[in-house]
Amino acid sequence: MAVPRAVPGDEVEAVVGEVRRGRIGTRLERVLRASPHRVEAPCPHFGRAGDLSPGCGGCSLQALEYSQQLEAKRAWVRRLLVAHGVDGELVLPPLGMARPLHYRNKMEFSFGRDAGGALSLGLHPGGYRHEVLLLERCLLMSEPGFALVRAVHRFADERGLEPLSSRTGEGFLRGLLVREGLRTGERMLDLVTTGLESTTMDGRVVAAAEVARAFRDAVLDAAQRLGAPVSSLYWTRHIAQRGSPTRMEAHHLDGQPVLHEKLHIAGLPPLRFAIHPRAFFQPNTSQAELLYGVVARAAGLDASAPARARLLDLYAGTGTIGLALAPLCREVIGIELVADAVENARANARANGITNARFVCGDVSEALGAEGLDQPGAADLVVVDPPRAGLMGGAVEALTRIAAPRLVYVSCNPASLARDLGPLRAAGFRLRSVQPVDMFPQTAHVENVALLERD
């Protein structure tokens, strides 16, 4: 039983509610004796003891001092690994941030109604998917970026636009995507609507495209007024029809078609990326630079040594890891299931002048077989960065056949990492270390880089 907004060491009074999905719902009523590690949450939407509302669902650890957030994450990873027979001492101290606020380069906000029925643009309260909390601030993103979010809310409210209701399925406005380039200063906004061809604005029925043009004009005006330049504007129609696949129809409204960003990884050449509205890119730029540096060190690659290694980059996504390591390798082969991501990876390789990396589209285990790469000696080094579900569909067996002397496992889910370490160790891999990297301060999420070796 967990108590939201309580921190380790608190003595609290809590109200016990319903059991949902095997978990007992609770509400923090009051703190009887505060933990020495409790701090005042800086966000006004975090919620306080006694509140009937659960508060914003974007952050869950703001009331715990940051050094203890890192300790809690290390303890969590240790518990999961120990439960699977792994020595917990192999989990290293997490790598955190000097300034663990305003770090996200991408935020997705929802339109909806708050508990009082007013139009909202914000995030869902914890555990409440039908309501949207109107945010006055968001400490996860930049202040100029959030000022534009407020401007979009005012535009939608003043023009009488109707948000999509998750209960009835009716309405027009779905959400707002904001992306920012930490290293370039660029900014992209994408208004996401339903697939309706027309809707009501200013009390009259208008074409959806007219709303998009009004959105463009309102944002450009606000950007100039607020001193928050916008380099790219989009309108995306989320077209969902029963019996048909969902389609995302993107319309470029103004500025550049992509957002540019750079990664500066210690000891490696800088990388440039062109990011489309829906393309994957690590949401925390500075920690992504740190993460990929950790991967390079775990891989044992040295810029001062000849580039001799053949690297397999599995679950390659848009190619960030493989491209970062390419200057240190003889050859990089990336495999990724999502076709759009593969095209992005190839484009990123061209943009950075990287000629020793190629990317293959397909399921990891099937593509390895088709490419003749699931054989002993096919690679000197393997990096895997699977989705939250972990290694699936014969991937462990393929890694066993390749028998690379070094395997670096980048994980966004400690539970699936702990599960996958079992068969990998049984296949002859020895776990050397697990390095947590705090990609999402103020939340319970943690990334891990596990180094495995075999003789």
Q: Which residues are catalytic?
A: 412
Tell me if residue 164 falls in helix, strand or coil.
Answer: coil
CA dist 57 → 46, 270, 299, 404 (Å): 8, 35, 36, 42
* Cβ pair 41, 35 in contact under 8 A: no
Which tokens belong to 389?
Answer: 């579900």
**Alpha carbons 85 and 70: distance in angstroms, whole number:** 23
Q: Half-sphere exposure of residue 118, counting CA atoms within 13 Å on the CB side? A: 11
Which tokens belong to 252?
Answer: 């470029």
Sign of the CA dihedral running 63, 64, 65, 67: negative
**Alpha carbons 290 and 266: distance in angstroms, whole number:** 8
* Cβ pair 270, 263 in contact under 8 A: yes
**Alpha carbons 232 and 98: distance in angstroms, whole number:** 30
Sign of the CA dihedral running 3, 18, 441, 178: negative
Buried b (16+ CB within 10 A) or exposed e, 301-328: beeeeebebbbbbbbbbbbbbbbbbbbb
